[in-house]
Structures are given as C-alpha cells and as structure tokens.
A = this chain, B = another copy of it.
Amino acid sequence: MNVKETGLCPDAPEKTGRRIAGQDPVKREQILEGAKRVFTRLGFDAASINDITREANVSKGTIYVYFANKEDLFEALIERERQSIFSDKDMAFTGDGSVGEKLKRYGMVLVRRTCSKHVIMAQRTVIAISTRMPEMARRFYEEGPRKGKEKMIAYLNAEIEAGNLVIDDVEHAAYQFSELCLAGIFRPRIFGYMPEPPTDEEIERSVSSAVGMFLSYYGSRRERAKET
C-alpha cells in the first residue's frame, strides 16, 4: 500500500528528530567556511546569519537546511575546528634527538599552533560563549587541549621509564611544560595585547627557556649533566 518506505526529510533537519545530513557535503563545507570567517571575525553574537549568507555565498534558507539554527551551526563549526586544530599529526615525539630536543620540537609546534591568528580567534569565540553553552566549551577543552596533553604524558612516562626524567606528578608536569612554553605569549595573545602571532625566534626563545627549566627540575642527574 505504502508507496515509498523512505521517510527522507524534505528541506531540513527534522524538527523533532535528529539531524539528517544535508545531502551535499560540498555545500555544507561552503557554509562552514563562510561561518568560520564570520564567526572568527565577529564572534557568535555579533555575527548575523545574513553575514554568513554573504560570506558563504548561499541563501539563508540553505543554511537552515544544513543546520537547525545558529547555535547548531556554531557548534558544528567549533567541532570541526577543534578536530582540525588539535589533530595529532605534527605533535608527535618521534624522530631522533635528546629529550631536550624532542621537548623543544613539541613546544615549538604547540606555541606556534596555539597562538596562531586563527586558533586564538577560535579560542576567543569558545571562551566568549562558554557561559551560555558550557557543554560545548567544556568539550572543546576536553577534546582539544586536554587530550593534546595525553601524548605528552605518554612520552614523559616513557622517558621516566628510561631513567631520563624523574617526575612525581606527570600530568601536572605536562601542564607545566605547556604553560612555560606559552609564558608571555598566550595570555597577551588571547587578550589582544600582542596583536600578531609571535615570530619563530620569539617562540624559540620561550621554548628553549621552558625546556631548560623543565629539565633542570625533572631531568635525572644523568640528563641534567647532558644539558649543561
């Protein structure tokens, strides 16, 4: 009797049900790209759907085909950004070199990434919305910076095992290393006091100092000897 069994959604994500993906991933990407530009330029509230419409070159209706509402679009964007920002690809501790060299390579990437124009913008918008969308901000941190630390913890444990480091609270040590690398950079950046990303030299100086400090405290006698 029934003609088709598919209840495929016309036009839009079901109001009641869960999202049914807008069919064209290219268009979806196009919207997200536009939204990214607008949201990072203006922040959540100041960005209007019309702005995004213009920037993404799609009609207003189309946006609402792919995303249930402004918040939903924002969430999807932040999710995507989080994944692209905190992908592990170049944060590995592979390759040759001493502990210090490895830490330095890691620190350089960490600072360069975390304080880049785009990532600072992303973090600002997330922080801005965190009071109204706490779960989203929480997820952003947990799945982003938080999880980024796991790899370092694993590495530190390996070096402890190898007798190169002596660390009591490994997790906290990982935090300490990150913050040392970002010292004098991250906070000025996020508040806009440092309008441009740090140069590689600036980063190098900060990271070198961080490595030195870190190893001077956590390096085993053997390792400290090597450093000097």
Interface residues, chain A, CB within 8 Å of chain B?
A: 2-4, 7, 10-12, 30, 41-46, 50, 53-54, 57, 59-60, 121, 124-132, 134, 137-138, 140-142, 145-146, 169, 171-172, 175-176, 178-180, 182-184, 186-188, 190-193, 195, 205-206, 209-210, 212-214, 216-217
- By a CB distance below 8 angstroms, the chain B residues around A44 are 45
Number of chain copies forming the complex: 4
Q: A175-B183, A179-B180, A206-B172 are in contact. Are A195 and B134 (CB under 8 A)?
A: yes
CB distance from A170 to the nearest CB of B (A): 12
CB distance from A172 to the nearest CB of B (A): 6
- Docked Cα-Cα span, A214 to B216, in Å, equals 10
- Please name the 4 residue pairs, one residue from A and one from B, whose CB atoms are nearest each other, closest first: A128-B128, A45-B45, A175-B184, A141-B191
